[in-house]
Structure 1
Amino acid sequence: MKVNIDGEVKTLFAVWMTDEGVKLIDQRKLPEKIEIFTARSSDDIVHSIKDMLVRGAPAIGVTAAYGLAMAKKNDEDMNKAVEKISKSRPTAYDLFKAIKYMTENNFEPSAAQRYANEILGRSKKIGEYGNELIGKNSRILTHCNAGALAVLDWGTALSPMRFAHKEGKNIFVFVDETRPRLQGSKLTAWELGQEGIDHAIIADNAAGYFMKKGEIDLAIVGADRIASNGDFANKIGTYEKAVLAKENGIPFYVAAPGSTFDFNIKTGDEIPIEERNQDEVLFLNENRIGPVGSNGRNPAFDVTPNKYVTAFITEYGIFKPGDLGSMRQAMNKDLFMKI
């Protein structure tokens, strides 16, 4: 992704591996500053994923792959390393895809790099296919952050927008703030700004207002896990955006690589939903915003039923929820995804 550091434009990945350890952009510090964290053990990897230094399903998977390769290099107990990392976050399916891939490839560093390269290439293909859905002067709604920070580069939901911008389609992006961690206003808006893509941050509750006024042409979001029938989990608040889009006749697309599809489960009812610490809801920048004595509930994701999805944008092409059987066949012919 393009990053402006002290007036100099550089290309930087969200996660990468070095002899020193696994390097990550600490996404908790954005947009105020770019700070690199170095994970030197499987415990550091767990910390990075669990405490959301890195987030986004594909990026979590790549971090796990790099982390397991590093753990082997450090002569750690690999059974324990796998167990710890697998428990770091339960919803994102890419995490488990990466762990399985690394286990079957003996945790080799070359395997981790192959995994990262595959995810990178697939996110680019998502952009190429998704760009076909974006017309000139399109006004696009997105929720949470499904950009380069959530993958390595390109992104999932933001990848088509990058291609559309590069082609001069003059797009405009409505960025949901995405409470409680504000990944939209902090991360997505930062990425779009770095790329020079016109956008505006809106309150989570404002999307329906702009839809009803006819100011949104389509919505593109990412996903953390997609069931066989097309139900999908994504950042909390996605479900209500999908319902509003259908009510207002607005196409609602989900962009995700094959690694996010879990064909082992039939419906979204089987997707485990992480519930995070209530303080993320009760506090903002260490300032309490709820009355002392009030408790909070903080589900990190919700599940959107397949009837609200117009189509899935994948590296294999664009598929309606009822056509995911065809996508599964394509995946079965894909040696990387057949894991």
Structure 2
Amino acid sequence: MERSITWDDGAIRTLDQRALPDEHRTLRLTTIDELIEAIATLAIRGAPAIGVAGALGVALAARLHTVDGRLDETAVLADAKRIATARPTAVNLTWAVERALFRLPQGADAVLDEALAMLDGDERTHRAASRRAADLLRQQCGKGPLRILTHCNTGRLATTAWGTALGTIRELAASGEVQEVIVGETRPLLQGARLTAWELVEDGIPHRLCVDSASAWAIASGLVDCVVVGADRITTRGDVANKIGTYALAVAAQRAGIPFVVVAPESTVDERLLDGSGIMIEERASDEVTHHGGRRMAPEATPVFNPAFDVTPSDLVTAVVTESRILVPGGDLADRIAACTRVVPDFPTAGVSFQDLGPVYADATLVRDTAAAMHRAFQGRFDSVLALEARGFPLGAVVAQRAGTPLVLARKPGKLPGTVDSVQYGLEYGSDRLETQSGALTPGAHVLVVDDVLATGGTLEAAARLVERSGARVSGLATVLELTALGGREKLAAHEVFAARHVT
């Protein structure tokens, strides 16, 4: 797919989005001032696109400030700060600038390599998110063809290739699962009418354009199966900043009982913000509203309210989908774990549906919240954590850190140096052992045992015996997942068991 942004022998080449759809015009940006103007005037727009452009801008600054082989890092840092503040709401810009700057001590070529890595990875990132979002919509809405409403532009113009929400629509359309896309015009600069419609025509995807104020009525009239949008910033709680008008669509979608799905890269998630109250909302020039086609449309003395973005609270969002996870804001912990768990059929043997928790562990926020739930379940009742090999280790470490307690690791035979305490336990075929270093569990300690899955209960029962043989006490057993049909809880009846999610 043709890229909207490229590196061109010491310059940033980009498609000028201000000229579309009338003219396919490219810009060759050779100075930092030109780049900042292009971002501020929306020649380059879309959170992922301006992020990549910002990284390339740092590379450009590093080249411009290298004279006779000497790099002026102070000058580069000053230019980078100007770039990062060109559009304050989209977190991708700051993220990308900081990532490029990390390589600055290694020289201009290293900065360029980092920026080009972001450019090259952009399409892969968004294709992965699109596939994940398309699968979610199939689950939520059933097999297509679907009637989808989208807002603003989230395609290859807003990224560098493919797109986020529009990439999801492309993914569904490729398998014949799109009946129609309803496109809001996106006032005041008409990114939906000028850009999204242009991309849909380019791809031959059926669509209709409507004024923004008709979008909610289209939803209420039963013309829409789901709403799919992008994002400029997402908080850890799942509040979403996006193009102005998004909040109204989320309200209408919830009222109609249809999914409202946000598709964006991980770089759009701002881990420093808990909720939307901390998001700076950019307000743009009044003449974008008072004028059209160079002609004044409102009285001279009329003041203007022209926010570029709004914030949709997490309780209106069905799911946030990135290249690596599905976040279900406002959903309970079990629902979020379920959304991230990958079911692998016939593994490790035929007839077994394996619950792969790998995507759960890849989601830092979900790991944190799962550990917090384990901590709350036994708060004040343990002073040590015993984590079981291997997937109990990362969760056990977070629980111990949160509680401020020691962490002890229980390993399989031959993994620990020195003398060990050991217990044997039975498997379906044969047996195994759990070991801890002698003295690691203090007599009289109150121990919380942490593992990933409770199945038949053999491993956790062995861990409990290991604790008791050391002279310590079992405060509780905590797992991410319990496979209830296998009866493990009955084997552990002497102990309190917490599982964040239960699967029958």
- TM-score, with normalisation over the residues of structure 1? 0.91
2:246 to 232, 238, 256: 238
Aligned to 2:25: 35
Q: What is the Cα-based RMSD across aligned positions, in Å?
A: 1.8
The aligned runs of 1:61-210 (5 Å cut-off) are 61-75=51-65, 77-106=75-104, 108-132=111-135, 133-134=137-138, 135-210=143-218
Q: CA deviation at 1:318?
A: 2.3
Q: Is the counterpart of residue 290 in structure 1 residue 298 in structure 2?
A: yes
Q: Which moved more, 1:205-214 or 1:177-186?
A: 205-214
Q: Which amino acid aligns with 1:140?
A: I
Q: Which amino acid aligns with 2:113?
A: S
What is the DSSP-based 3-state SS (H/G/I as helix, E as strand, rest coil) of the residue aligned with 2:157?
helix
**C-alpha separation in 2, matches of 1:306 and 1:313:** 13
**C-alpha separation in 2, matches of 1:35 and 1:256:** 27
**C-alpha separation in 2, matches of 1:55 and 1:275:** 15
Q: Is the counterpart of residue 18 in structure 1 residue 21 in structure 2?
A: no
Do the aligned partners of 2:227 and 2:258 also contact (CA within 8 Å) in 1? yes
**C-alpha separation in 2, matches of 1:313 and 1:24:** 27
Q: Which amino acid aligns with 1:15?
A: I
Q: Is the counterpart of residue 47 in structure 1 residue 50 in structure 2?
A: no
**C-alpha separation in 1, matches of 2:360 and 2:296:** 47
Do the aligned partners of 1:93 and 1:259 also contact (CA within 8 Å) in 2? yes
* Offset from partner CA, 1:62-95 (integer Å, 9 cap, x none): 0001111111111172022112101201000000
Q: Which amino acid aligns with 2:27?
A: F
What is the DSSP-based 3-state SS (H/G/I as helix, E as strand, rest coil) of the residue aligned with 1:253?
strand
Q: CA deviation at 1:188?
A: 0.4
Q: Which moved more, 1:99-108 or 1:53-62?
A: 99-108
Do the aligned partners of 1:127 and 1:154 also contact (CA within 8 Å) in 2? no
Aligned to 2:267: 259
Q: CA deviation at 1:168?
A: 1.7
Q: Which amino acid aligns with 2:287?
A: D
Q: CA deviation at 1:119?
A: 2.3
What is the DSSP-based 3-state SS (H/G/I as helix, E as strand, rest coil) of the residue aligned with 2:208?
strand
Count of residue correspondences: 323
Aligned to 1:337: none
- TM-score, with normalisation over the residues of structure 2? 0.62
Q: Which amino acid aligns with 1:211?
A: I
What is the DSSP-based 3-state SS (H/G/I as helix, E as strand, rest coil) of the residue aligned with 1:171?
strand
Higher relative contact order (CA 8 A, sep 6+): 1
Could you say which structure has the larger radius of gyration? Answer: 2
Please identify which structure carries the higher strand content: 2
Q: CA deviation at 1:118?
A: 2.3
Q: Is the counterpart of residue 276 in structure 1 residue 266 in structure 2?
A: no
Do the aligned partners of 1:149 and 1:155 also contact (CA within 8 Å) in 2? yes
Do the aligned partners of 2:122 and 2:161 also contact (CA within 8 Å) in 1? no
Q: CA deviation at 1:319?
A: 2.3
What is the DSSP-based 3-state SS (H/G/I as helix, E as strand, rest coil) of the residue aligned with 1:127?
helix
Q: Which amino acid aligns with 1:131?
A: A
Aligned to 1:8: none
**C-alpha separation in 2, matches of 1:14 and 1:328:** 33
Q: Which amino acid aligns with 1:81?
A: D
Percent identity between the two aligned chains: 39
Do the aligned partners of 1:228 and 1:262 also contact (CA within 8 Å) in 2? yes
Q: Which amino acid aligns with 2:97?
A: I
| Structure 2 segments unaligned to the other structure (5+ residues) | 67-74, 341-358, 366-504
Q: CA deviation at 1:332?
A: 5.2
